[in-house]
Amino acid sequence: MTKTMKHSIASGFLLTSILFLSLSASADPIILRRGASVAALNNNATTSATVPAGSHDLRAALAEKAIMLADAVAKRDQAIAKAEARQKQIGPKKDVIGKGDTLAIVLARAGAPANQAADAFAAVTKVFNPKDLRPGQQVSVHLAPAEDGEGLVLQSFALKASVERDVAVERQPDGTYKAADKLKPLTTEISRAAGTIDNSLFVSGTNAGIPVDVMMEMIKILSYDVDFQRDIQPGDGFDVVFEQKITPDRKLARNGRLLYASMTLSGTSLKLFRFEGDDGFVDFYNPKGESVRKALLKTPIDGAKLTSGFGMRQHPILGFSLMHKGVDFGAPTGTPIQAAGDGTIKVYGGNGAYGNYAQVQHNGQYATAYAHMSRFAPGLRVGSRVRQGQIIGYVGSTGRSTGAHLHYEVLVAGAQINPLSVKLPSGRKLEGQDLREFLNSVKNLEQKMDRLPQPVQVASAR
Ligand SMILES: [Zn+2]
C-alpha cells in the first residue's frame, strides 16, 4: 500500500512539473485549485478557482502553487514514513500464552479493538476450543492502521495450538473473520529405549528417554506379572519399543502405541508384545502368544477392603445363617466398579435383594455379578461389550444391604464359586491364524530391534 502511494505521489509530482513547464509557456487560463491533492491533480484537473490570464500573475500564481505542491508532497512523504514506522511497530506481534491468559486478554494486549477481537474470537471457537489454550503456546497478532487513519484494525492472528496444529483467524474483505486450522502431516516412527535400573524403574526409564505415558502403560501391562514393590533389584533391566508421531520439522507431536516391553528381573527376562487379534481386541502377549492379562480380576474395585468373605455366615439383616455366595468389598458410595474381565453384559437393572445389579458373561463358562450399586454406568445396556477394568457401575447400598459395599460374585456354569480361593482362568491364548500372525510380528520386530533409533525427545519450546 505504501509503495503504491509513494509511486503515485512521485508520478503526480512529475506530472505537476510538466504541467508547470507547459503552462508557463502558455497564456491560456489554467485550472488549478488551492490545496489540490496530488492524487486529484494526477487524476483530473478540474478546479474551483481560475487563475486569471496575464503572464505576471500567472507566473506568480504558478510559483506559489509549485511551492505549495512541494510542501504537500513533503508532508505526504512524512505521513507515509510515519505510517510505515507505525506499521512496523504494530506488525505481527509475537506473544506467548501465560498462566490465566485468555485469547481475549492476548488480543487486547496486542492492541486489537474490542469489537474486532470479539468477532475474531467467535470465529476461532469454530475450530478451536478455548479450553485447550495452554501456557506456553505461541500467538502472533497482526494489526494494521485503519484505512481512515483512525486507530488499528485486527488483520489476523495465529496460534500454535500444538506441535502439529496451527490455528489462524483472518479478516475478510467484508470485515468478518474466518478461522482455519492446519494440521501438519505426521509420520510414525518406531523408537527403542533400554537401560539398567539403578534405584527406580521410573527414574532410570525417564533417563533412558521413555515418555511418562509410555512408562505408565508399560507398568500396567507388566504389573500382572511383576510386583513393582518387591521384585525389582538394582541391576535389573528394561527395554521398550514404542511409536512416536513426528512432525515434518522433526518435532515430537505425541507418543504412539507401546509395541514391546521387557524386564529382566534377577536374570530372568519377561517379554511382552502388543498384538491386535482378528476380533480387534488389542492385548499384550508373551512370546508363546499367551495374554498377560488374567481373565478375571480378583478385586473389581480400587482400594476397597474385603468386609465379608464367601461361605456360611449370620446374615446381618435376616438374622439367621445363610450361605454368602459372594464376597463383599466395603467402599464409599460412588466408588467406580470395574468389569472383572472382557465380556458381554447379560443382566443390567434392578434385581430384588441384589438391588441395582450387573452380570457380565466372560466366556462359555465364567460370569461375574455386581450388586447393590448406587447407579449404572452411562451408555451400557444388556448386550454391551465391556473390557476388563471398564467402569460398569458405582458402589451403593440398594437392595437388601446395611451399608455401602460391592457384593461381587464369580459364577461358573451358573453357580457361584469363591473368587478368592479358586484359581481364576488365565487370559486368552492366541491360536490358529492369530497365533501365526503374532509369531510373525514378533520375528519382524526382533529382527529390526537393534537398528531402532533412540526416542525423539520433547522439544523444550513448543
Ligand atoms: Zn455380599
pLDDT at 73 over 80: yes
* Cα 182 to averaged position of ligand 1 atoms, centre (Å): 55
* Cα 308 to averaged position of ligand 1 atoms, centre (Å): 7
CA 446 to chain centre: 32
* Cα 328 to averaged position of ligand 1 atoms, centre (Å): 5
List, as own/partner pairs, every contact residues 314-320 make where C-beta atoms lie below 8 angstroms and the sequence separation is at least 24, other chains included: 316/402, 317/400, 317/401, 317/402, 318/400
Helix (H, G, I), strand (E, B) or coil at 313: strand
* Cα 5 to averaged position of ligand 1 atoms, centre (Å): 87
* Cα 224 to averaged position of ligand 1 atoms, centre (Å): 27
Output the CA torsion 13→19→24→26 (10° steps): -170
Beta-strand pair 49-50/31-32: antiparallel
* Cα 295 to averaged position of ligand 1 atoms, centre (Å): 22
Model pLDDT, residue 420: 74
* Cα 447 to averaged position of ligand 1 atoms, centre (Å): 52
* Cα 366 to averaged position of ligand 1 atoms, centre (Å): 19
**Grid coordinates given for 11:** 508520478
Instruction: Render pLDDT for 155-201 as a digit per residue (tens, 0 to 9).
Output: 999 999 988 899 999 999 999 999 999 888 999 999 999 999 987 88
- Angle formed at CA 442 by CA 440 and CA 444, multiple of 5 degrees: 70
* Cα 410 to averaged position of ligand 1 atoms, centre (Å): 12
* Cα 370 to averaged position of ligand 1 atoms, centre (Å): 9
- Write down the pTM of the prediction: 0.54
Bin 326: left if φ > 0, else alpha if -120 < ψ < 50, else beta: beta
pLDDT (average), residues 33-59: 49
pLDDT at 344 over 90: yes
Instruction: Render pLDDT for 248-300 as a digit per residue (tens, 0 to 9).
Output: 988 898 899 999 999 998 888 999 999 998 877 788 999 999 888 777 777 78
Name residues whose C-beta falls within 8 Å of residue 78's C-beta, 6 or more positions apart in sequence: none
pLDDT confidence bin for 125, thresholds 50/70/90: very high
Model pLDDT, residue 303: 64
* Cα 381 to averaged position of ligand 1 atoms, centre (Å): 23
* Cα 369 to averaged position of ligand 1 atoms, centre (Å): 11
- Distance (Å, rounded) from C-alpha 389 to C-alpha 426? 16
Bin 92: left if φ > 0, else alpha if -120 < ψ < 50, else beta: beta
* Cα 343 to averaged position of ligand 1 atoms, centre (Å): 22
* Cα 423 to averaged position of ligand 1 atoms, centre (Å): 20
pLDDT confidence bin for 90, thresholds 50/70/90: low
Burial class (CB in 10 A: 0-12, 13-18, 19+), 229: exposed
Mean pLDDT is highest, among 70-74, 298-302, 408-412, 425-429, for 408-412
Measured CA to CA in angstroms, residue 443 lies from 161, 244, 283, 408 at distances of 40, 21, 17, 42
* Cα 324 to averaged position of ligand 1 atoms, centre (Å): 6
* Cα 389 to averaged position of ligand 1 atoms, centre (Å): 21
